Structures are given as C-alpha cells and as structure tokens.
Structure 1
C-alpha cells in the first residue's frame, strides 16, 4: 500500500509491513535526508554488532530537546513512530502537504528548539526480535541458551549481550540490580556487570553529557502512561509539564517509585531537569502493527506539546 499526499509525494515513513528492522531504518533515513537536506544525520556510536546508532538533528534554537526510542528490543515500533514525527516536522518546515498538521508551528519550534532524535537505540535487539538469532554471528548459540532454548525472541527486551539497556545507567544502579535479581544475560532485567557496560547505553549517555539537554523523552511501550519523577531529584514544574504532555495524547501522568538505573532516571539525577518516559500504546509487546496509526496520533501530539513547552 502506497500513501500519497496532495503534493503527489509518497510518504516515506509508514508501517504497512509487519516489521521495521535496522535496514528499514537506514533506508528511511537516507530517503529523508534526500528529500529534506536540512536534516542532519550523525552516528553517536555503534551497537555490539557494529551497527551505527543514528541521531537526527533538527532545529536552530537554544532549547535542546532529546527523544530516543527502541531502547528495548521488543518495543521496536517506537522507532517508526519517532521517525514519522521527524518526517512530518520536516515536511511542515518545507511547506509540504505531509506537514500540514504542524503548519504555522513548525517554524516556531525550529527557531526555539534544537531536537536531537535517536530512533533506534538498540538496533541489534530490534533485529533479533523480528528475525531471530541467525544474523547474530558468534552470539547465536549463547542467545538461544539465554532464551531458555527457544528460537522465539518476540519477547526479548535486552541488547544482543542479554543486558537490559534501561537498567544500565548510573542512577542507584546497584539497587536496581539487586531488585531485578537477574544474575546473568537474559531476555530482560539483567543490568550488566557494571553501569554503562554496553556501547548502546554509552552512546546515549555520551550524547546527553555532551549536549546537556534541557529536557528528554524516552519512548517505550506500553501502558499509555508518562513517568516524570525520580527520587525527588526532578525540578519544580516537572509534574505540570507531564500533565500537559499526558493531556495532549490522552495518557496518564504517573508518579513512579521502585525503579532505578533507567535513562530518564539518570538524566533527572544528573541534570535536575525534566525527563520523561513515555509508555506508548496498550497491549502486549511487541505491539501490533495495526495499532501504528492510532498510536502515532497520540505520540505525535505528545511530542508536539514537548516542542511547545
């Protein structure tokens, strides 16, 4: 199925197939760069298997906003959700019909904000969930062992070394490791042998330290909830902003306890600035492709509100 806008240009980011692998991400990024040369693409690091982790920069403003997605492997649907927003934002700046939804706002966003987007933070894991372990070279046998002998990796959350990337950050990491109780590589909940042991987590941390973002959002699934606090390190106004974001997407702003070592947790602790985990959609991960369009309506409204804030 091909989707066209009134200006007779095919939409680049759509999800009509059942999968969205790293190769699809790279293809879509190349097409976006060709159509919108003002988009800036750069690798912020590499995955365990050597895949560049792509970051897209858009904007010229002093306020720095970061959004990442597909940190958890079986939450890969968040990658095309974020990439679709980038496409529509760029189209609005370029005066194309694809961006009509943000007409009149996009230029204000561009002048006020600089957006740094990492659509697929865990590319090895995203491919593993969708295609199985056969592309994983030396890790194939270990992965099957860590997956308890099963070739079904649809519920896998970790990276290719069996480390949960959202338990990797130096924010009470020891407490989180003890709480999780995982002693070694697993489909989920293993925090690694130390904080930031995994190159994908290091890439996000280094980007964040270098750019010193004003606010960050991390797209996960599922639950239609927005988590905004961390051990009382969050700044004044964080809850109010979370409620704005939640209202925009029809989600709930939730004060979360009993969780540490996530990217959002570390950012709030490190910078004392607003950080949010957005739990996209409802159901069982990986969420079904048929839910992509209604999820996008919600997620894009939340991201637009973040750009307005």
Structure 2
C-alpha cells in the first residue's frame, strides 16, 4: 500500500487515475470511504501499489534524471505528478513513479476533468507539440481563465467548443483527446480516421475552447465547498440540496447556451424560469455572463467558417436555425452523421444557443452535437466509445470545412 493525503479538489476517480488503479480497489483498500460523498482534504488513504510506487527525491535529482532511472519518458513522470510543484525539486519530496509499461498519454479521460486537468494537459501538449498555440479569451465569473487552443495554420477557420454545460464536462476531455491525437498525427505524418492531418492542417485552422464553464464544471464534479463565496446562494438555487451532479448552469445559475441574442426574448418566455437555478435560466439579458460574452467576442474576432458545439446527450446533430442556415448545412450534417453514427436532426422550438446565434449572425454552417446516449453526466466507462465517435466527427468537420471554402 502507498500512503496518500487527500488534496482539495480530489475525487475518488482522480486519485485512482493518478495512481493507475481502478476505483474499486481503492474503495476496497479504504472501507470507510463512501463513493458518493466528497473526499475531505487531509484524509490519509491507502492506495494499492499495483502500477506505481513512491520515490523520495535525493539531493541533485532532476526530473529528467529520475525518469531515466526508471525507463520513463519525462512526460509520463510529469503526468503522474501533475498536482505537485515540479519546477524545482526539493530533497525529500515524494513523487509517484508509474511503471514504464503503463506510462499514460497526456490527456486521460478516466476521471473528472476540470480546469486543473485542462491547465496541466495544455502545458504538456505545448511541450510535446510546440506548433500549438494557446490564447486566453476571457475569464469566468470566478476569475478562471477561458482558454482557446489553435491547431493548424490554414486559411479556413473551424471552431469547436465544449464544457458549456456543467454536467456535460465529459465533452472537455473528449475535445482535448482529439487535439492530442490530431497534433500527434500531424507531427508524425500519420493519418487520423483516414485523413492526412499534416496536409489537412495546412489548409484548415482549428480553434478549440475546451471548457467554456469551468466554475460550473467544478461544482458538478466536486460539490459545494463550505467556504465557497457563493455557497448560500447556490444552496438556495439548488433547493437546499448539496448534490450538484446535475447542475447545468454557470456559477450564477445561468444557462450559458441560452445567453446568445438569437430570438433570446422568445427563448426566455419559453423557459419561464423564475430566476437562477441548476438549469434553463437564460439570465437577465443576452451576454450577461462573461463566459458567453467572451465566446461571442472570440467568434467575431476570428470570423470562423464553420463551428461545432459539443454537448451531451442524444447522438444527434442539430444543423439548422429558422431557415437562416446556408444551403450546404444539411449536406455537411449528413457527412458528420455518417462519420459518427449520429442522427442529423432539423430542430425547431429552440433559440438563443451558440449555434443559433452563429448561424443567424454569420449565415455560415453551425452545429450542436449531442454526444453519447444516456443521462447526464454520462458515465466515464463510455469514454472510449464516445472518443471514437467524436474523433471521426471532428475529422469530418475539418474536411468538410476545407472543401466548403477552398
């Protein structure tokens, strides 16, 4: 057994992911744990030493030297210790050393994925693939950075966003996994879903915003901390319940995908929400929330040719908006559907979403993709299948955008 002290933001799945053990063995080693209850920081856990062990840093040690001792890549060692300060190692510091044959990839979708994972993985991706570019496009209500990641340098511009709804956060690691796979394929000259990514990304630029709603995702994944500055309001808006797994809104109780000026008044009347809550409140006005305003400003600045908004669930692709969509929108939707196995749907009775606003404002193809099937939040054991579907769909979107403009 390895000792581990619970840190703020830890969950059962995050700890299991860090040590490359399954959650069931972690629960078995700590019979007092309640799988449904938040972990208290400071709690000492026993972790089964199945695929990792602990190394005490010695004077003169470097990360590269330690990785070399154990036959690891530097990336694998950094990934296994993503919560630690690694810029300057201190003698006596304890590091998790994964087994060489279980060295993880950069993006790992086996546990909750929020701002801390996004930040760590973005830094690791930039080191592995220096041709990526990262830009801060704004901040959330709580001051967390909203980042965009650029891949490719072609004249055709595609945008994909994810994590707009708090309990749909699984779309964030799905998008980040796609970025890693696409960057790796471009760097190595390999194909991805049959596409020559190196050539494709000479013609297309992809701008991804992986986590539009970091505050809400943190709430849905970790629950409400007693010291949260909005604790009293959030409890009231959640009808006194401390269970926030189904929370969809941002931290001010506003549904970010009802924030865009595309017949917003009609959507507001349809929702008939009496104020902030877990879902469906469009806010006091369009763009009242900094997350929606930042995404709209970024979209205007970049003048995208095609956009995709990843949500869950339903295995559907919404491609139209009140007849404002261009003629090619349905054809492209059918191409995305063929690649992913999803169903293209002509939607009515819905307004004020990001896709709606993009189509209305720019008369270009825009798509809302409802990933997977089930109840939000989707279970993490579905991640490999969802990843296959999303990867194929996004490659098809890049190919369609290229043929659309060039």
Q: TM-score, normalised by structure 2?
A: 0.73
- The yes-or-no answer on 1:130 pairing with 2:221 is yes
Match of 1:208 in 2: 299
TM-aligned CA deviation for residue 80 of structure 1: 0.2
Q: SS of 1:133's equivalent?
A: coil
Q: 1:283 aligns with which of 361, 374, 378?
A: 374
- The yes-or-no answer on 1:186 pairing with 2:269 is no
Q: 2:396 aligns with which of 299, 305, 309?
A: 305
Match of 1:217 in 2: 308
Match of 2:136 in 1: 43
Match of 1:108 in 2: 199
Q: 1:56 aligns with which of 138, 143, 149?
A: 149
Segments of 5+ residues of structure 1 without an aligned counterpart are none
Q: SS of 1:205's equivalent?
A: helix
Q: Are 2:157 and 2:206, in contact at CA under 8 Å, matched by a contact in 1?
A: yes
Structure-2 change in CA distance of 1:166 and 1:130 (3 Å): same
Structure-2 change in CA distance of 1:103 and 1:10 (3 Å): farther
Deviations 1:46-69 (A, max 9, x none): 000000001001111111000000
Match of 2:107 in 1: 13
Match of 1:67 in 2: 160
Deviations 1:174-206 (A, max 9, x none): 000000000210100000000000000011000
Match of 1:91 in 2: 184
Q: SS of 1:64's equivalent?
A: strand
Match of 1:155 in 2: 246
What is the alpha-carbon distance in structure 2 between the residues aligned to residue 173 and residue 101 of structure 1?
Answer: 39
Q: SS of 2:239's equivalent?
A: coil
Deviations 1:13-48 (A, max 9, x none): 12122x112111111111111111111011100000
Taking only aligned residues, the RMSD between alpha carbons, in angstroms, comes to: 2.0
TM-aligned CA deviation for residue 285 of structure 1: 0.2
- The yes-or-no answer on 1:263 pairing with 2:354 is yes
What is the alpha-carbon distance in structure 2 between the residues aligned to residue 103 and residue 119 of structure 1?
Answer: 24
Q: Which is bigger in relative contact order (C-alpha 8 A, separation at least 6)?
A: 1
Match of 1:82 in 2: 175
TM-aligned CA deviation for residue 242 of structure 1: 0.2
What is the alpha-carbon distance in structure 1 between the residues aligned to residue 232 and residue 143 of structure 2?
Answer: 19
Q: Are 2:319 and 2:344, in contact at CA under 8 Å, matched by a contact in 1?
A: yes
What is the alpha-carbon distance in structure 2 between the residues aligned to residue 135 and residue 165 of structure 1?
Answer: 25
Segment of structure 1 superposing worse, 283-292 or 108-117:
108-117
Aligned residues: 305
TM-aligned CA deviation for residue 107 of structure 1: 1.3
Deviations 1:105-127 (A, max 9, x none): 10122111110000000000000
Q: Are 2:151 and 2:206, in contact at CA under 8 Å, matched by a contact in 1?
A: yes
Q: Are 2:187 and 2:198, in contact at CA under 8 Å, matched by a contact in 1?
A: no
Structure-2 change in CA distance of 1:256 and 1:26 (3 Å): same
Q: Are 1:217 and 1:277, in contact at CA under 8 Å, matched by a contact in 2?
A: yes
Segments of 5+ residues of structure 2 without an aligned counterpart are 1-19, 21-50, 52-72, 77-100, 401-406
Q: Are 2:165 and 2:256, in contact at CA under 8 Å, matched by a contact in 1?
A: yes
TM-aligned CA deviation for residue 102 of structure 1: 5.2
Match of 1:169 in 2: 260
